[in-house]
Amino acid sequence: MKKVLSLFLLVWLITFSLLYVTKTIESSEGYGGNNTLTIYNWGDYIDPALIKKFEKETGLKVIYQTFDSNEAMMTKISQGGATFDVAVPSEYAISKMKEEGLLLPIDHAKIPNLRYIDERFLNLSFDPGNQYSIPYFWGTVGIIYNRALLGGKEITSWNDLWDPAFKNEILLVDGAREIIGMALNSLHYSLNDTNKTHLQQAKQKLDALTPNVKAIVGDEIKMLLANEEAAIGIVWSGDAAEIMWENERLDYVIPKEGTNLWFDNMVIPKTAKNIEGAHQFINFMLDPKNAAQNAEYVGYSTPNKKALEYLPKEVVEDERFYPSEQLANKLEVYENLGKSMLAYYNELFLQFKMHRK
């Protein structure tokens, strides 16, 4: 009888241990519930103090995970193995996720702070009526450069990058839409162009840029530019702000031909378990003081017009990060190109990278 009881206890302990380990893994991999809120966001894209504040106000435990590309995020959500209550994709990804049925509609009645969002950033083509997404941050793609390392030369245009004097001085961000778009804009084409003749012209122009390109890199571009390992970089505006804070010799410019105006919005994936908590979090992040705090920490532009009152005057009046209406008219939002055309962009970008070798 003692042997039977011992065996029973052993089995019970093993079962309990397995359940505990499974629960721990599930929590770390994006499985949530009513007492937790699982957020899937870009790296270093929220003030950690705001997460603690939200937990204190709501009693919810936040599980925070990060991704490094829209494609990686969409793949994980579409596979359905992990549950995320809130995610923060870019505009073209939102359009794609809507098409694939990966998003739940947002109840605006539960987001009273939506009234603080600037109307310019609402009801855009990728999500009419903001049925599935709420603005989080916005910004541009542009050029950051170190005038001191360039002999005092000033950059105002995409076409300036082809100057032979900039040999081996340019770092490119590793993104097909950004770099193919840069070449298209330099030719005065739309960065959503689907004309293959125009795209081949853009590819040829990129090939001509090769002598000036030092490397194509990821997040390390910020450290490399701040440490003056290169004089010029193609970056997102928020990264530019962070780099300039590290090194005051750098400046950021929105090229005169125009560039990308991007949006990252908060969404509720279809597999969310804590839908009520997701609405609470979205509304919390739209509180003007919280939005201002987050913008100061991250360095990107806030779409929250009320939050601007809590930001330093020199920040909100800086047209590099809050461009004038005249300049804003030259900016384009990425459109969902469809699988076939997006694959063509990626192929051209890969060919350019191989050409450099």
Binding residues for spermidine: 92
Residue 250: burial class (beta carbons within 10 Å; 0-12, 13-18, 19+): buried
User: Do 88 and 269 touch, CB atoms closer than 8 A?
Assistant: no
In sign, the C-alpha dihedral spanning 191, 219, 224, 239 is positive
- The total of other beta-carbon atoms located within 10 Å of residue 185's CB is 25
DSSP one-letter code for 247: -
HSE, CB side, 13 Å, CA atoms: give it for residue 108. Answer: 12
In sign, the C-alpha dihedral spanning 321, 326, 327, 332 is positive
In sign, the C-alpha dihedral spanning 175, 338, 335, 304 is negative
Contacts of 326 (CB under 8 A, 6+ apart): none
Identify residue 185 by its one-letter amino acid code.
Answer: N
Helix (H) / strand (E) containing 271: none
CA-based max dimension of the chain: 89
CA 71/CA 60 separation, integer angstroms: 29
Identify residue 344 by its one-letter amino acid code.
Answer: Y
Binding site membership: which residues? 92
CA 260/CA 236 separation, integer angstroms: 9
Read off the tokens for 289.
């003081």
Q: How far is CA 112 from CA 18, 279, 328, in A?
A: 43, 10, 28
CA 44/CA 150 separation, integer angstroms: 31
* Closest CA relative to residue 157, chosen from 197, 199, 188: 188
User: Do 65 and 30 touch, CB atoms closer than 8 A?
Assistant: yes
